[in-house]
Chains A and B, each alone.
Chain A
Amino acid sequence: MGRQIVHRLLVSFPALLGVLFLCFCLLQVVPADPAMIIAGPDAKAETIAAIRLELGLDRPIPIQFLEYIGRVLHGDLGRSIISNKMVSEELALTIGPTVELMLGGMIIAVPFGLTLGTLAAVKRGSIVDRIIMAFSVAGVSMPVFFIGLILIQYMGFKWGLFPFTGRTGPIWDGGLPSLVLPALTLGSVLIGPIARLTRTAVLEVLGADFVRTARAKGLRETVVIVHHALRNALIPVVTLIGLQAAFLLGGAVVTETMFSWPGVGRLAVGAIVSSDFPTAQGAIMILAIAFLSINLIVDILYVYLDPRVQRS
């Protein structure tokens, strides 16, 4: 298993370099000269030249890229053009809320998705199966913001059940009500795909010999379904949930923007809209690295759950 994990780490290295290069480009291809922006409109030519020297903007691009990697490794992502705060400090404040939102979404989506998918597989071909599948196709086809708009309008505005702008604080400090609607929005788009994948996986396992054996030796149907079928079906489901990471990340960016949730995604969108390139670069880098890490963890989990993978 160790070799497998090392191999995965090696494979994700070029991807990491790609992420860094893209973020570096973000700082390079800025339409305006960063030195001029920092110096301000009335600055003398010498001041601009001095800032340029200080930022190392006179050196060749490959050297600058290496220096950039060095800075990133030291946690230095530059300063925001707008607020003049360190980007790393601003990012540190936003990571918590984003993780909270994603976990909240998963906590809603995974149990619902697994239950509905298993139910559909067990009642294959019945009206229950058809309804669940219709529901999940509709879910897969729903724009995240559509669900968000409906939840805001009804549960937030008309019925006044939950707050729908901003985050009042961490969960352990009375922040739970403000998390409900964003997490519901993000979670509900994931229920459909997870239910669909679970159904396929459970159906495949239900036809297996060991399920027939379990039934033949007189186990109760619930035990067969939960302990034998669902447990084995979880292996592909875990990977497939991992594949939804892109979905989750994109959904989080939209959800955060809608609910003014102070996370990384909203920081990125806001920074791009206001041409704050250092902040945009930092936020995009964190999101991309988060995505890479999720995939890595899922791959490792997969090897752990299914020892057969090692052989191939």
Chain B
Amino acid sequence: MSVEALNAPAATVEETGVLSRTGVLRRLARDKVAAAATIILTLIGLAAIFAPLVSPYDPYLTDLTKVMQPPNEQHWFGTDNTGRDILSRVIYGTRNTLMLGLVGVIIGGALGGVLGILAAYYPRADGWIMRLVDVMLAFPAILIGLAVAAIFGAGLTAVVIALVVATVPDVARVARGAAVGVMGQEFMEAGRAVGVSDRTLIWRYLTLNCISTIFVFLTLRFGQIILIGSALGFLGMGAQPPTAELGMMAAQGRDFLFMAPHIATIPSFAIFVIVLAANLLGDALRDVLDPRLQT
């Protein structure tokens, strides 16, 4: 890191303070890889949102006359062991997998962001909050998922809780780091001097200036969160059959790996594409918005 970057947090904070600052999209578009990743993610997102309209078949409709067909004209991705159309199931599965990741990242990001910012604003709470974060860091997400599934039973809720717990501590650290930087700015002191209330200082002054850093960090984490969620699905701790979820679909297809490998590999490949696109976009966003943030 260069000396200039260290000495010039003020400029960076102001430049990145608002998310939708014009130019971000234009700079992203100049990066071909990022542009491709954005397009792919958008298409995947649209397909997931409009799953009932896009999928060619009912993802839950079994047809025992068409079992384990390899990809063909009628079924682009083939059919599974009960004759269900895999393309339709992948579309619905993507919907569930993406939803899990989004809910985990949004709730975890909000909680972690609040914790980090409060830790930076109230030095007295700092030690306690960071200690709590340390304890949370002591649990790898997969373990949380296993424990929650053991206590409350396997299901989407167990996965969401695990993903939230996996997101909160890292976000809290990043948010605290960003907020400590903002706390040293003159406008904070000025605000306090003219008698702005704590609440306004925290929300308007502090949070708004940290939010882009938090956002970039969450984009970077999104891929990993999806991977954890699908691994829990694969282990049978998440969505239960017949619900389509990509990780669980891969696990089910494993039993037919030697007869019909596409049943397991196509959902796995779908996860790979989603995570890859998310990671590439995250990297590009970081380079444009917040180059100081390291993974």
Q: Write the residues of chain A forming the contact surface with B, with a CB cutoff of 8 angstroms.
A: 11-12, 14-16, 18-19, 22-23, 25-26, 29, 31, 137-138, 140-146, 149-150, 152-153, 157, 200, 245-246, 249-250, 253-254, 257-258, 268-269, 271-273, 277, 280-281, 284, 287-288, 291-292, 295
Contact = CB atoms under 8 A, between A and B. Distances in A.
A137 B284 CA distance: 13
Contacts of B131: 11, 14
Contacts of A15: 134-135, 137-138
Nearest to A134: B33
Residue of B231, B236, B247, B250 ringed by the most chain A CB atoms within 10 A: B231
Interface stretch (B13-21, B85-93, B174-182, B265-273): B265-273
Contacts of B143: 249-250, 284, 287-288, 291
Given A25-B151, A141-B276, A291-B143, A12 B138 contact: yes
Given A150-B265, A272-B154, A288 B258 contact: no
Interface in B238-293: 247, 250-251, 254, 257-258, 261, 264-265, 268-269, 271-272, 275-276, 278-280, 283
A26 B148 CA distance: 8
Contact of B139 (A19, A145, A269, A281): A19
Residue with the greatest number of chain B CB neighbours at <10 A, chosen from A146, A150, A271: A146
A153 B257 contact: yes
Nearest to A142: B272
Q: Is the interface of B mostly helix, strand, loop or mixed?
A: helix
Nearest to A146: B268
B184 to A, nearest CB: 18
22 contacts: A11-B134, A18-B138, A26-B151, A137-B276, A137-B283, A140-B223, A140-B279, A143-B247, A145-B231, A145-B268, A146-B268, A146-B269, A146-B271, A153-B257, A153-B265, A246-B140, A269-B237, A271-B150, A272-B154, A280-B150, A284-B147, A288-B143
Interface of B: 131, 134-135, 137-143, 146-147, 149-154, 223, 227-228, 230-231, 234-237, 247, 250-251, 254, 257-258, 261, 264-265, 268-269, 271-272, 275-276, 278-280, 283, 294
A149 B264 contact: yes
Given A12-B138, A18-B135, A26-B151, A269 B234 contact: no
A254 B235 contact: yes
Contacts, number: 140
A310 B284 CA distance: 35
Given A153-B261, A157-B257, A250 B228 contact: yes
B135 A138 contact: no
Given A246-B141, A254-B235, A26 B147 contact: yes
